[in-house]
Amino acid sequence: MLLAALPLSLMGNWEERREEMVQVQIEDRGIHDRAVLRAMGRVPRHQLVPENQAGRAYGDYPLPIGHGQTISQPYIVALMTELIEVGPESKVLEIGTGSGYQAAVLAEIVKRVVTIEIIGPLAERAQEDLKGLGYDNVEVIHADGYHGWAEEAPYDAIIVTAAAEHIPPPLLEQLRPGGRMIIPVGRMGWTQNLVLVEKREDGSHLTRNILPVRFVPLTRGRR
């Protein structure tokens, strides 16, 4: 996808910081999928965070984006993207648009991204920012992500960027046989695990704990 041009005075600096992020925070930690590394190296993370956080955009930590939400640590974004094993013809559902950063990374790799955000102002801002950056293969929907988006199911993969107390049954239903879902499971303040779900051809599924994580909770009820 084409990206909006950065100011020439900043372009080199941002590119250098992004390259360092990819090398030190991501590749050196074991992420080797070339498509994921290229995507992480292309998406201008500093343009998808609040202006007062832009200088910290390429740091090794999550950042606040308002409304009690965060943008995930770059390594976690890369890890989740690698684990779902998607390609140029894939259609991916994301639950929890937030700033739009994870959707932008996916959009660099896959054919179509459907991303759902329950908080209206975040959905509106992400839609504007993603459109401004040229990501025309992303659709942002303001809705309750627990229920997924059945209109475009099945999905080749699903990424959930907020912690659920259990794996939502509607998401399992909307995942195609052979597809993968990555989701943090656990309550706020308790141990959360990043869980990889693989759906078998017969509709059953396998789950595997990847690593302990800390995500904001999956919010229920449209607002």
Overall residue count recorded for the chain in this entry = 223
Distances (CA, A) of 174 to 81, 164, 195: 18, 17, 17
CB 197 within 8 A of CB 180: yes
**Cα–Cα distance, 97 to 133 (Å, whole number):** 15
204 as an active site residue: the answer is no
∠188-115-81 over CA atoms, to 5°?
Answer: 75
In the chain, what is the straight-line distance between the N-terminal and C-terminal CA atoms, in Å?
Answer: 31
Q: Catalytic one among 72, 90, 99, 204?
A: 72
Q: Which residues participate in catalysis according to the annotation?
A: 72
